[in-house]
Homo-oligomer: A and B are copies of this chain.
Amino acid sequence: MKTIEEYQEIVFNEVEKFRSTSRDMDLYDPVKYIMGLGGKRMRPVLTLMGTDLFDGNIEDSYNSAIGIEVFHNFTLLHDDIMDDAPLRRGEATVHEKWNTNAAILSGDVMFVQAFTLVTSCKPEYLRAIIDIFNVTAIEVCEGQQLDMNYETRDDVTLDEYLEMIRLKTSVLVGCSLEMGAVLAGATKEDSRNIYDYGMHLGMAFQIMDDVLDVFGDASIFGKQVGGDILANKKTYLLLKALEDANENQVSELNQWLETPSDGVATQKVQAETLILFREAIALL
């Protein structure tokens, strides 16, 4: 096994190869752009680790690993349109830099590129790879739909939230590891086990992200601390707070959730919510 940095180095190189061999056509400019915004490239790293773990040749997994990264970035591109997000990794989102039509169509072509790369594997593993990837891609779309639905609902339960992040985020982490294992010729049982491990890793990652938004150090976290609270975002912490709070606390919390986000109110909300969050966390 290599270090994470060594796997990352390989993935960075392969991503650059993908970017530099893109056809010279304006359709691909947003593809090169979003694939160049960086990130930890954790998913393809996990694919290579999965292959190494089962004594496979990691070079056999390069294409599928990059395919997963292209798929992940495709979902970011379309999600950013749907969320009307201005920034992605500190840079303008594709629909802001180009326009919505360019973002839709470039996303679509990335989706095909992802399928092409993921399925560029040894023939004996093709059927298994397609099946894992198709099921996962369907689930990611279902997760995004739930996420959008939950924005306008005020009765989302913690279980519903966990199922949403499982679909939207965690299954792709599981898929990344499982693909790596499959491409090393791992048994079906081992492949499923590593998928489950990856899925739980994905759940932990998302919940940690929610926690860091409240308790993190901005200089390490890389995002504004309290951003989820200001946006009234339904996170694990908010839903846990609502579930564990007593009647008075629920009513106070709901009052703040319904208060428009002017400067004074939001600071107060943030302070109040932080206290409730900490109380909720103490109950865990």
| CB-contact partner of A138 in B101, B107, B113, under 8 A | B113
The smallest C-beta distance from A156 to any residue of chain B, in angstroms, reads: 15
Q: By the criterion of a CB under 8 Å from any partner CB, how many residues of chain A are at the interface?
A: 32
Q: Say if the beta carbon of A280 comes within 8 Å of chain B.
A: no
Contacts A112-B134, A127-B126, A149-B26 hold; do A144 and B82 have CB atoms under 8 A apart?
no
B101 contacts A148, CB within 8 Å? yes
| CB interface residues, A 87-119, toward B, < 8 Å | 100-101, 104-105, 107-109, 111-113, 115-116, 119
A27 contacts B119, CB within 8 Å? no
Contacts A123-B127, A127-B126 hold; do A105 and B26 have CB atoms under 8 A apart?
no
Scoring A27, A127, A148, A149 by chain B CB atoms within 10 A of each residue's CB, the highest score goes to A27
**How far is A142 from B24 in the complex, measured between Cα atoms in Å?**
11
Q: Quick one: copies of this chain in the complex?
A: 2
Q: Say if the beta carbon of A145 comes within 8 Å of chain B.
A: yes
B108 contacts A134, CB within 8 Å? no
A134 contacts B105, CB within 8 Å? no
The smallest C-beta distance from A19 to any residue of chain B, in angstroms, reads: 16
Contacts A123-B127, A134-B119, A138-B109 hold; do A145 and B82 have CB atoms under 8 A apart?
no
B78 contacts A141, CB within 8 Å? no
| CB-contact partner of A105 in B115, B123, B141, under 8 A | B141
A108 contacts B25, CB within 8 Å? no
* CB-based nearest B residue for A119: B130
Residues of B within 8 A of A142 (CB): 25, 27, 109
